[in-house]
């Protein structure tokens, strides 16, 4: 017998236990303990007594499946549909919204204490939404053949089995409608859905983006190869059924990959752009551009960042990871000059166009990796009064942090979408002489476990 087979755990797989839920993981799983052995259980809430079945055991912890809630938390609400839990699109739908906001505030507090070793930094109440549904301005919906029909929906968690869905609840309802309209048009034209196992068929994803303020629609058909049978008729039918459509793009992704968009694209109608507004500025957004998903909360997030920057009109500002210039232009309104950095070249083209569109002249943009450009600027003696960073989930590169410590901007505003990497970076920056003053969580993704936050730092 191998050592692995001999190993024993405080619980047995497939057995049923009763325990009290003590906590939530950052992924929103309930934590119950049996003989001091932690088990993570989806759908369980702290304070509840539950019955669960052990489905997996490991050296340090296991997983259970909730069977029955014996004593219910006051923060539990009736779920809308199990499909949203199965697909992972709404993992917190069983929690009151008030509890979701507190959970997100605690996520930020916990990492500042545990990882950053900054327990005294105030973490304010999470800024939430009045109506925490229907907020997503972009959908990337997979397509598969189900029962002989081209079907849209979302993949079951940890699988590529499609769960058919028409109402996503957290998406702009107009986007949900548009997906169904496009799906039905493709069905009428007998366009085959992509089969990822055999790498056959044509339509892989339907992507819909919508301007919250403008109502403009962009439709992107992601295909395995170039030709679309009956393409002209399909385009005309989409335009007729969805008159708000200003852009229809075919994106070609011929690879066997989980990445949604390919590098090649063809504009089938209009141009590769639609427009929306943020903080009074108008933005042109291409199908590949990053643009914040939740428009009303983005304005609250960016307004917090602007407030923390405390600009007087005399400052030179660097906006690293500037994307299409969404926050750059708002900063420029109150700064002497703003330098934007972005690694994606088409996004910089958008940013320059957006500055022109909004008649903002005190900005300049540079294409490249933020860490490389910052290091070069620091070596060249370039300085900034304020640095604003809004990095991807992986956080700041260590080289970028070194450049910040060389350049020493007086004030730094960190917009984060990942509390763990935020805390890691804050630890390094505080070691390097920065004081962390405050953190403001913002709920950009209600019904999910994600939380964004804005942190203010300064150097004496």
Q: Which residues are catalytic?
A: 417
Counted residue by residue, the chain has a size of 460
Answer whether 232's CB lies under 8 Å from 248's CB: no
Structure tokens that stand for 373 in this block: 């450009």
Interhelix angle 173-188/231-241, rounded to 10 degrees, is 150
**5, containing H or E segment:** helix 3-6
The angle subtended at Cα 241 by Cα 260 and Cα 289, nearest 5°, is 30
| Gap between the Cα atoms of 304 and 441, Å rounded | 10
Mapped onto helix, strand or coil, the DSSP state of residue 14 is coil
Report which of 419, 293, 423 is spatially closest to residue 27, judged by C-alpha positions: 419
> What is the rounded CA–CA span in Å between residue 344 and residue 168?
30
| CA 206, 211, 82, 187 torsion-angle sign | negative
Distance CA 318, CA 326 (A): 14
State the Cα–Cα distance between residues 97 and 449, nearest whole angstrom. Answer: 12
Q: How far apart are CA 138 and CA 125, in angstroms?
A: 27
Give the DSSP per-residue string, 120-149: TS-BPPPB--SS-SS-BSEEEEEEEEETTE
Which residues have C-beta within 8 Å of that of residue 227, sequence separation ≥ 6?
Answer: none
Tokens of 39: 């088990």
CB 31 within 8 A of CB 23: yes
């Amino acid at each position: 017998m191998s050592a692995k087979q001999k190993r024993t755990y405080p619980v047995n797989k497939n057995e049923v236990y009763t325990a009290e839920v003590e906590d939530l993981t950052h992924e929103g799983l309930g934590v119950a303990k049996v003989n001091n052995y932690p088990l993570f259980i989806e759908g369980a809430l702290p304070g509840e007594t539950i019955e669960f079945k052990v489905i997996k055991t490991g050296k340090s912890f296991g997983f259970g499946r909730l069977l029955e809630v014996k004593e219910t938390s006051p923060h539990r609400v009736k779920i809308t549909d199990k499909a949203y839990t199965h697909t992972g699109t709404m993992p917190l739908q069983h929690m009151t919204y008030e509890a979701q906001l507190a959970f997100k505030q605690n996520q930020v507090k916990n990492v500042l204490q545990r990882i950053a070793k900054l327990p005294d930094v105030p973490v304010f109440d999470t800024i939430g939404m009045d109506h925490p549904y229907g907020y997503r301005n972009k959908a990337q919906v997979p397509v598969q053949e189900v029962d002989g029909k081209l079907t849209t929906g979302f993949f079951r968690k940890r699988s590529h089995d499609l769960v058919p869905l028409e109402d996503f609840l957290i998406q702009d309802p107009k986007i949900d409608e548009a997906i169904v309209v496009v799906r039905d048009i493709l069905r009428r034209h007998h366009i085959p859905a992509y089969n990822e196992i055999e790498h056959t068929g044509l339509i892989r994803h339907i992507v819909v983006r919508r301007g919250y303020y403008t109502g403009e629609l962009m439709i992107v058909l992601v295909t395995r190869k170039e030709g679309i049978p009956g393409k002209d008729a399909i385009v005309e039918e989409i335009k007729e059924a969805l008159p708000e459509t200003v852009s229809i793009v075919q994106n070609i992704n011929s690879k066997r990959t989980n990445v949604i968009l390919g590098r090649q694209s063809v504009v089938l109608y209009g141009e590769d752009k639609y427009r929306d507004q943020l903080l009074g500025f108008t933005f042109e957004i291409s199908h590949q551009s990053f643009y914040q998903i939740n428009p009303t909360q983005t304005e609250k997030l960016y307004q917090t960042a602007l407030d923390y920057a405390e600009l007087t009109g005399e400052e030179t500002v660097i906006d690293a990871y500037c994307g299409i210039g969404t926050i750059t232009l708002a900063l420029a309104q109150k700064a002497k000059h703003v330098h934007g950095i972005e690694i994606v070249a088409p996004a910089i083209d958008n940013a320059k166009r957006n500055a022109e569109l909004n008649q903002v002249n005190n900005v300049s943009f540079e294409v490249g990796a933020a860490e490389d450009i910052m290091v070069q600027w620091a070596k060249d003696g370039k300085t900034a009064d304020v640095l604003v960073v809004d990095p991807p989930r992986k956080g700041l590169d260590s080289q970028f942090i070194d450049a910040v410590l060389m350049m020493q901007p007086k004030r730094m505003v960190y917009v984060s979408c990942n509390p763990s990497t935020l805390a890691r970076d804050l630890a390094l920056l505080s070691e390097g002489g920065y004081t962390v003053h405050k953190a403001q969580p913002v709920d950009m993704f209600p019904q999910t476990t994600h939380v964004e936050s804005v942190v203010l730092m300064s150097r004496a």
